[in-house]
Amino acid sequence: MKLTDDQLRQFDELGYLMLPGVFSADEMDAVTADLPRIYGLEREEVWRESTGAVRTAFAAHRYSEPFDLIGRHPRLVEPVRQLLGGDVYIHQYKINAKAAFDGDVWQWHQDYGTWARDDGMPEPRAMNIALFLDDVTEFNGPLWIIPGSHREGVLEAGHDLKTTSYPLWTLDRETITRLAGAHGIFSAKGKAGSVLMFHSNIVHASSPNIGPWGRTIVYLSLCHVDNHIREFKRPEWIAHRDFTAIETAPDDCLLRLPRATVAAE
């Protein structure tokens, strides 16, 4: 799981990289088997849409064994280490559910914009690596990315506290119109088990899901250990304060999960 020179060049130029088929169906089954239990939890980390449907389960590595393994999986951690040049820790861990019919919009934003403003993260030496737990199609709210927008640095943003249940630093319409006019939009679609990496300054959004198919994506926001956050305004389960370097699990860890545990859910 080492990125090739071509892949490094694409990431540098476009700010994202789509890697299909990184995990097998068996591996995905071992992980998704724990979702119904997680979505049923009454914990502050499990954030809901205004309709009650789960929007995001934060820090799921702390209360789910399969999701703990995802957070330490070498196929997710190693490419980020390679791109960021060294050890990384988990700054944020999200399961974003985008429920059928109910899944709400994620407004246009840059992740590092929030990490800098809210968490005092010094540099954009952090990034997302996202794992598709479901097939992501044009019909269930794929991520929309503006290619090359990471080169703009941190853009001006406003703190949107109203549009959805989750506060977000969002970009204005003129900026989106200008950037999408220049670069177009890439819709990150792919089969379950695919992986999407994107630069922390990439401009992205996702539509509400009006379709009958949910889609769940896990986002690991990994940060170089030297670049850890300096401010602690957000809850520690949203912006983590444990800066310990990730020790990766064995490559076949998901297949070694006891079947009994999975079946018992």
- Please tell me whether residue 182 binds a second copy under the rule CB under 8 A: no
Taking residues 207 to 236 in sequence order and writing x for each that binds a second copy by CB under 8 A, - otherwise, the string is xx-xxxx-----------------------
Closest CA to 259 of 21, 29, 25: 29
Q: What is the distance between the alpha carbons of residues 8 and 91, in angstroms, rounded to a whole number?
A: 23
CB of 98 to a second copy, least distance (A): 13
CB of 77 to a second copy, least distance (A): 32
CB of 105 to a second copy, least distance (A): 6
Whether the CB-CB separation of 3 and 77 falls below 8 Å is answered with: no
Nearer to a second copy, 18 or 80 (CB): 18
* 45, 52, 244 from 222: Cα distances, Å: 18, 29, 11
* 29, 34, 79, 140, 263 from 169: Cα distances, Å: 34, 31, 27, 24, 40
Closest CA to 68 of 82, 79, 57: 57
CB of 170 to a second copy, least distance (A): 11
Taking residues 159 to 178 in sequence order and writing x for each that binds a second copy by CB under 8 A, - otherwise, the string is --------------x--xx-
Residue among 8, 180, 225, 249 that touches a second copy (CB under 8 A): 180
- Please tell me whether residue 139 binds a second copy under the rule CB under 8 A: yes
Q: What is the distance between the alpha carbons of residues 103 and 55, in angstroms, rounded to a whole number?
A: 7
The Cβ of residue 238 has, within 10 Å, a number of other Cβ atoms equal to: 21
E strands, 176-229, in order? 186-188, 195-199, 203-206, 217-224
Taking residues 91 to 110 in sequence order and writing x for each that binds a second copy by CB under 8 A, - otherwise, the string is ---------xx---x-xx--
Nearer to a second copy, 210 or 245 (CB): 210
Nearer to a second copy, 40 or 181 (CB): 181
Nearer to a second copy, 22 or 53 (CB): 53
Q: What is the distance between the alpha carbons of residues 238 and 229, in angstroms, rounded to a whole number?
A: 12
- The footprint of a second copy on this chain (CB under 8 A) covers a number of residues equal to 23
Q: What is the distance between the alpha carbons of residues 112 and 32, in angstroms, rounded to a whole number?
A: 28
- Please tell me whether residue 262 binds a second copy under the rule CB under 8 A: no
- Please tell me whether residue 52 binds a second copy under the rule CB under 8 A: no
Residue among 205, 220, 239, 246 that touches a second copy (CB under 8 A): 205
Q: What is the distance between the alpha carbons of residues 64 and 45, in angstroms, rounded to a whole number?
A: 12
Residues binding a second copy (CB under 8 A): 100-101, 105, 107-108, 138-139, 144, 173, 176-177, 180-181, 185, 187, 205-208, 210-213
